[in-house]
Amino acid sequence: MEIQTIGVVGAGQMGNGIAHVLALAGYDVKLNDIKQEAIDRALDIIRKNMDRQVSREKITAEERDAALGRISSTLTLTDLGPSDLIIEAATERETVKTAIFEDLVPHLKPTTILSSNTSSISITRLASRTDRPERFMGFHFMNPVPVMQLVELIRGIATDEATYQACARVVERLGKTASSAEDFPAFIVNRILMPMINEAVYVLYEGVGNVKSIDMAMKLGANHPMGPLELADFIGLDTCLAIMNVLHDGLADTKYRPCPLLTKYVEAGWLGRKTQRGFYDYRGEEPVPTR
């Protein structure tokens, strides 16, 4: 299976980063979203990020221009049908993802590989709603995509070896490293990371430390580049809560119970950087802890 044309569903933070790295690696990319404003914003972000790479001499201006020329866009999901590989990077809600795959299936080539950038939802279950569970993979990029070196490749119970190898070759061509994970809730990275973030929220909830002291403790005491609450704001508190709920529901273990304070922040719409407030308030010149 030689992959050259790749469709990306969703032009948000993850989708634009995925389109960026694929185009730089020489793939022809078609970016889809339901809103033209989202596509326009994504293309603007991709150009600005590539301009930054040129200014830092990571890529040449010619490589940037060639990559931008390989990205096209569409508001029509079914236009992605002829792609060799489709990477779904829509909202982290199973109903949304399932609807996307069900709409795509009648328009696919027999050889098209379907994949999802989900950070926690069952690949086996998503694959079962398509006509090709053997040609379905979890293709989980880390955020920010152009910077982070890891991609988790997750096999569903039916995924065949040829599909895995084809996706692994894409990761290699991107200059990234593939980590192979089995299809259990939250896979590897988030199975370890999210309970740590959730525990940091419990430490805040119980008054053991405030936002600043918790983040400082983990940055200086464990040599983490970002504190857990700062990282939660970067990821999005709604995403953190969704993954904790997947862990709690999927593994039926009380150690994965989402902290009530995390739930409260999400209920308030304080989702982190994307809403300007989370564990920090980002509306001023410097982020200010909210607790």
- The H or E element that residue 92 is part of is none
- pLDDT beyond 80 at 1: no
CATH of the domain at 130: 3.40.50.720
DSSP state of 6: E
The verdict on whether residue 226 carries a ligand-binding annotation is: no
Q: Same domain for 82 and 110?
A: yes
Percent of the chain with pLDDT over 70: 100
The residues that bridge with 6 in the sheet, in sequence order, are: 29, 85
Q: Which of 73, 115, 122, 152 is catalytic?
A: 152
Q: Give the Cα separation of 165 and 157 in Å (integer).
A: 16
Of residues 31 and 120, more confidence is placed in 31
Q: What is the CATH number of the domain that holds 222?
A: 1.10.1040.10
Domain count, the chain: 2
Separation of alpha carbons 38 and 77, rounded Å = 14
Residues 32, 67 within the same domain: yes
Mean predicted lDDT score pLDDT of the chain: 97
32 catalytic residue (yes or no): no
pTM metric for this prediction: 0.90
Residue 27 identity: Y
pLDDT tens profile 216-251: 999 999 999 999 999 999 999 999 999 999 999 999
* 119 catalytic residue (yes or no): yes
pLDDT at residue 92 in the model:
87
| Predicted local distance difference test score (pLDDT) of residue 98 | 97
Q: Do 224 and 96 belong together in one domain?
A: no
213 annotated among ligand-binding-site residues = no
